[in-house]
Amino acid sequence: MNNVITRLKTKTVGLIALAITICFTAIACSGGGSTQATPGISPEVAVDYVHTVLLADRTAYTKHVVNRLKKLEGKDKADGVIPAEATEGWEEAGGVPLPAQMFRLGSEVAAETADEKGIGFTYNLISTWNINDSHAPKSEFEKKAMEEVNKTGEPYKEYQEIGGQKYFSALYPDKAVSEACVTCHNTHPVHLERFPDKVFKMDDVMGGIIINLPITES
């Protein structure tokens, strides 16, 4: 099990590093002032690449790891084949992380790598119906973007400035792609206490993946 997680994590970080390289090469090239047309990738497209990788790994982990376990957050899973549990307290329980925790673990590794490279690139999960307080939409940008994504089910993209640094930011819908997403959230004690009227269905927008690409203007 640990091998699977390590492999998934290594793959995620590798692909994100590749996407960042493409993105920053593109930005560097586009500011070159050369008379020749240089091939480049716009931030709108670069952020789509990053999101494609993040969503692919998130979905693959939920479908092919979490969904095959015999236990999900204390409840037996009838069609589970791996004798392990996905649970919030995975470290103490000897289990595996929940999809959102796996996503955060990856984002922490990516943030460290981005720091080492001096490129302040970040991503995170947010939701109007958050279980974890740190996932509430906080900035004006996040609040507006989350509202739009909940309404349209489509990504929301815009430039923003944080502490004097310009970013191209995008919020992509995080949808209920597997029955496990819906069951676990709808029955979670914090969800039931905070949002008793919100019952998720398959394919609903459950939150969003926010990606912030720093833009260097030359």
Chain positions contacting ligand HEC, by CB under 6 A? 62, 66, 72-73, 86, 88, 98-101, 125, 127, 130-132, 135, 174, 176-178, 180-181, 184-185, 188, 206-207
Stated as kind and residue range, the H or E segment containing 90 is helix 90-93
In one letter, which amino acid is 210?
A: I
- DSSP letter for 198, please: -
d(CA 91, CA 210): 26
Q: Which residue's CB is nearer to ligand HEC, number 49 or number 129? A: 129
- For the CB of residue 82, give the shortest distance to ligand HEC in the complex, in Å: 14
Q: Which residue's CB is nearer to ligand HEC, number 26 or number 209? A: 209
Q: Which residue's CB is nearer to ligand HEC, number 101 or number 122? A: 101
- For the CB of residue 134, give the shortest distance to ligand HEC in the complex, in Å: 7
Q: Which residues pair with 208 in a beta bridge?
A: 126, 173
d(CA 51, CA 20): 11
- For the CB of residue 181, give the shortest distance to ligand HEC in the complex, in Å: 3
Q: Which residues of 157-174 are buried (b: 16+ CB within 10 A; e: fewer)?
A: beebeeeeeebbbbbbbb
Q: Which residue's CB is nearer to ligand HEC, number 171 or number 206? A: 206
